[in-house]
Amino acid sequence: MSVSHQSNSVACDSQAEHPSIPLVDLEGLKSAHSQTAQQAGEAQVDAFKTFGFAYARNHGLPQETVDAAFQWVFSPDSCLCMISQLTIPSRAPSSSRCPRQRRKKVTQMVFDADEISERRKMPDFKESYEISRENDDHLSNIWIPDESLPGFRVFFNSFYKDFYGLSGY
């Protein structure tokens, strides 16, 4: 199993040649052969280690479902940047999964402790809104009120049900 990087529709072997988001083929995870599944998993881990993010293909979700998820998140009607503030109770702890915008330095691809420390002296703004399946035992969701974005919660509960169904759990 390999990781390819695509830039301007040209696949290449080296991220140094074309630093772009890696494309990882997950077809091997469906294999009954443990070595094939191991290679697919290692390709995914390698992409996360070298780039921090990856595109996945042959993951098992229909393209229409993936497109619909992106439409919910990036549509001008969703306004998630503003609506996410509605999900945060005034007494929510700072460790909440839906933090208010705050200063935090994001450091990627830097492994030297001194350099990381130096970079964190100049914080930037980061906002995140994270959701997962409805009954996650470890991380509970704080949902956008349904009247603010009707159908959002229903869609993403269905999305995560399909997504977690792929894992066999």
**Radius of gyration over alpha carbons of the chain, in Å?**
19
Let me know whether 158 and 99 are in one domain: yes
DSSP state for residue 155 in the 8-state scheme: H
Same domain, 8 and 32: yes
* 47 and 83 together in one domain: no
Residue 134's pLDDT band (boundaries 50, 70, 90)?
confident
Q: Is the domain of 68 the same as that of 52?
A: no
User: What pLDDT is recorded for position 124?
Assistant: 61
pTM (predicted TM-score): 0.58
Are 51 and 131 found together in one domain? no
Residues 9 and 91 in one domain: no
At 3, is the pLDDT very low, low, confident or very high (cuts 50, 70, 90)? very low
User: Residue 135 has which token pair?
Assistant: 């009954």
Q: Determine which helix (DSSP H) or strand (DSSP E) holds 23, and give its type and residue range.
A: strand 22-25
- Could you give the number of structural domains in the chain? 2
30 and 80 assigned to the same domain: no
CA 23 from chain centre, in angstroms, equals 14
Pair 40, 79 in one domain = no
Contacts of 154 (CB under 8 A, 6+ apart): none
85 in the same domain as 148: yes
- Structural domain including 113 reads 63-165
Place 12 in a pLDDT band, splitting at 50, 70 and 90. very low
**Mean pLDDT, residues 33-45:** 88
List, for residues 84-107, the tens digit of each pLDDT value. Answer: 556 555 544 444 444 444 445 555
Residue 49: pLDDT above 60?
A: yes
Residue 111 has a pLDDT of 77
Residues 112 and 36 both lie in one domain: no
Question: Are the beta carbons of 22 and 55 closer than 8 angstroms?
Answer: yes
